[in-house]
Amino acid sequence: MKNDRHEMILSLIENYEIETQEDLAQKLSDAGFSVTQATVSRDIRMLHLYKKNLGNGHQKYVAEKETDHNLDAKYKRVLKDGFVSIDIAQNILVLKTVGGMAMAVAAAVDAMEFGEVVGSIAGDDTIMMAIRTKEDAEKLLVKIKEFVGE
């Protein structure tokens, strides 16, 4: 029964943006599983679920991948090491990098899954990032500057 419930939880968080334990308990109930808050809390710990920021003011439960933390550290290091400056033009961020690092930094930014980023184009030392809105661009500009210590 527990294995079936765990499989259902993983399926639910993959297919829905579940923000709270209450939301998860309701989805499980809808799927035919009778659970208590304590059971849901214990399942979250056992499955190593964590909340991921979606960049739109919301979060959702996701399953921890063993390599996530190691890769995140590498992506952050690439961004910090390659970063030179960042500027904004309406809903476009222009990130300048050390020569030859733009593609690596753009790949790192893409992998970091900032919800505000629609897509990016990298040259040799410049990345243009299309951002959903001007407001999102301003928020992401501040995030990246804080992240790299500017």
Shared domain for 51 and 17, answered yes or no, is yes
126 and 95 in contact (C-beta within 8 Å)?
yes
- Could you tell me the two tokens for 102? 């733009």
User: Which pLDDT tens digits describe the chain residue by residue (150 residues)?
Assistant: 788 899 999 999 989 999 999 999 999 999 999 999 899 999 998 888 888 888 788 889 998 764 455 667 788 889 999 999 999 999 999 999 999 999 999 988 888 888 899 999 999 999 999 999 999 999 999 999 988 888
Mark whether 128 and 84 lie in a shared domain. Answer: yes
Strand partners, 95: 86, 127
Residue ending a domain, among 46, 63, 80, is 63
The total domain count for the chain is: 2
- Count, in order, helices (H) and strands (E) of the chain: 6, 6
Domain boundary among 63, 86, 105: 63
Report how far residue 144's alpha carbon sits from residue 150's, in angstroms, rounded to the nearest whole number.
8
Contact indicator for 32, 40 with CB cutoff of 8 Å: no
pTM here? Answer: 0.55
Q: Are residues 24 and 53 in the same domain?
A: yes
Separation between Cα atoms, residue 116 and residue 27, nearest integer Å: 28
75: its two tokens? 């992506």
**Structural domain that includes position 58:** 2-63
